[in-house]
Amino acid sequence: MHPPFSLIWFFITAGISIGLFNFVYFLELLTLFGHQTAMPRQAVLISLATSLVLIALGAIGASFHLGHKLRAWKAIKRFHTSWLSREAVFSGAYGFTLFLYALSYYSNQNLALQHFLGILTLILGWLSSFSTAMIYASNKFVPEWNTSLTVLYYLNMYLMLGASSATILTALFAPQLSGEFFFLTALFLVLGFFFRLFFNIRQAFISHPTLNEALNLAHNRPMRVIDTGSTTNNYCTTEFYYKKGKELLSSIVPLSYILTFLIPTFLTLYALITTRHELIFIAPAFAFITLGSFLERWCFFVEGNHVQNLYYGIYPSQGYSLRKGYTEHKKTIIRY
């Protein structure tokens, strides 16, 4: 699949926005149970302003992926069947309630109102994240994405982005909390590494569809491509297959592992071991995580192989192999 920059941009901005709000508000929520965990008011206001700006920029960036931007509002019409529609609704609702919560916090409104809006924003943020992850995980036409691992490591990366950005705030405004946040960042980095590793290992073992399966025919009469569906490039051959990206994957994937997981993990663990919970470690770690996440999303899209590429003869070679036992005795029914 061709990697759309607008969707990668939305992943980074929405991930930091939702993840950062998740941790900052959770500290506020703990104060209801008698814990003195709330960050200084200035830090909370900075985090809310940052989250608002990022989700707004993410929405603007994602709109460039639409063919007819003025029709974006129609996305809500398919809420009951489309994860894309749910993402649009929940993301918009998250941004709106986040604005209301920031307004209530800034104007020192009643605590009950503040926490009602805060909890609602928290829920909507994660519903938005889950919906976005399910857009890919529920796509049966791209076997590489069609797994629960896609959802798990997608949500974990939001937590990873949020924890690392929140750690920067604690290092600046609440040093007494920075140790815990350095630990959380390291934890989500390690989890993210293993989720991504299992995701890549799975790609080596998944069964790619064959032409027979695509045409719903039995395997006792194997099909093959004699003539491709098009002799020139078109939307399908450029958007659903990225030849140059496939050639670069072998070098970009290791680089994304190094930048996203290995270097930030080393920096955070070193800060934890030496008890130097300082900005000098978490700031570069956050920068590496952000840059690496951009490359990781790029790899995620390029790794996807859409079944329609069988028609154009550009699907991986495994797609043409005959798998014995699959619908061997299936009867082909022709309806007139």
Confidence of residue 312 (pLDDT cuts 50, 70, 90): confident
Q: What is the mean pLDDT of the chain?
A: 87
Give yes or no: residues 134 and 208 share one domain.
Answer: no
pLDDT in tens, 268-302: 999 999 999 999 999 999 999 999 999 999 999 99
Question: What is the C-alpha separation between 197 and 183, in angstroms, rounded?
Answer: 21
Is residue 252 assigned to a domain?
yes
Domain tally, the chain: 2
Query: What's the distance, Cα to Cα, between the start and end of the chain in Å?
Result: 35
Is residue 151 assigned to a domain?
no
Structure-token match 């209801």, residue found? 32
8 A C-beta contact, residue 160 and residue 289: yes
Question: What is the C-alpha separation between 248 and 197, in angstroms, rounded?
Answer: 18
CA angle 48, 39, 9 (to 5 degrees): 35
Instruction: Choose between 43 and 232: higher pLDDT.
Output: 43
Instruction: Choose between 325 and 162: higher pLDDT.
Output: 162
Give yes or no: residues 21 and 100 share one domain.
Answer: yes
Give yes or no: residues 255 and 331 share one domain.
Answer: yes
Supply the range of the domain harboring residue 192. Answer: 167-336
Confidence of residue 237 (pLDDT cuts 50, 70, 90): confident
Q: Residue 326's pLDDT is what?
A: 41
SS (H, E, C) 219-239: CCCCCCCCCCCCCCCCHHHHH
Nearest Cα to 29, choosing from 161, 91, 156, 120?
120
User: Is the model's pLDDT at 260 over the cut of 90?
Assistant: yes
The whole-number average pLDDT for the span 96-101 is 96
pLDDT in tens, 121-154: 999 999 999 999 999 999 888 889 999 999 999 9
Give yes or no: residues 128 and 212 share one domain.
Answer: no
**pTM for the predicted model, two decimal places:** 0.87
pLDDT in tens, 179-195: 999 999 999 999 999 99
